[in-house]
């Protein structure tokens, strides 16, 4: 059986339900969906998409850091309330990752927790 270890970060918000922010399972790390919650207050940042996306990415990267220096983002799944925000998402991701980029799916959804405009989950190899 593969050992599972929960990962958290002081630089990312606590889970808002009965789940782990991230789990290491063997040579993989699975990061739960991150929305634009400010880590200290647990409140959603301003309603603007860019601000929420930047915070969601900061939260995701803080959990990536907890996975260790060798951890590489292999796959992202991004949920958007408005697909018209797709170009801003591409811009922000292009500023973080270099080729070869992580695999990615972007899914348009009707609603996200806490009224968020974006949620991002990731799978890392370690």
pLDDT of residue 33: 98
Own/partner pairs, 16-20, CB within 8 angstroms, 24+ separation: 16/42, 16/113, 16/114
Helix 49-67 vs helix 86-96: angle between axes, to the nearest 10 degrees?
40
What are the structural domain ranges in the chain?
4-125
CA distance 4 to 114: 28
* 4-125: in CATH 3.30.413.10: no
List CB contacts of 114: < 8 A, sequence separation 6 or more: 16, 35, 37, 44
Per-residue pLDDT 10s for the chain (126 aa) are 899 999 999 999 999 899 999 999 999 999 999 999 999 999 999 879 999 999 999 999 999 999 998 999 999 999 999 999 999 999 999 999 999 999 999 999 999 999 999 999 999 999
Report the predicted TM-score, pTM, of the whole model to 2 decimal places: 0.96
């Amino acid at each position: 059986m593969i050992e599972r270890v929960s990962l958290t970060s002081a630089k990312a918000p606590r889970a808002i339900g009965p789940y782990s922010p991230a789990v290491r399972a063997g040579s993989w790390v699975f990061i739960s969906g991150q929305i634009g919650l400010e880590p200290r207050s647990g409140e959603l940042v301003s309603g603007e998409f860019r601000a929420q996306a930047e915070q969601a990415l900061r939260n995701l990267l803080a959990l990536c850091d907890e996975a260790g220096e060798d951890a590489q983002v292999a796959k992202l799944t991004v949920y958007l309330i408005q697909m018209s925000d797709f170009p801003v998402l591409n811009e922000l991701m292009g500023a973080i990752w270099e080729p070869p980029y992580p695999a990615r799916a972007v899914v348009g959804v009707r609603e996200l927790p806490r009224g968020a405009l974006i949620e991002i989950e990731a799978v890392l190899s370690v």
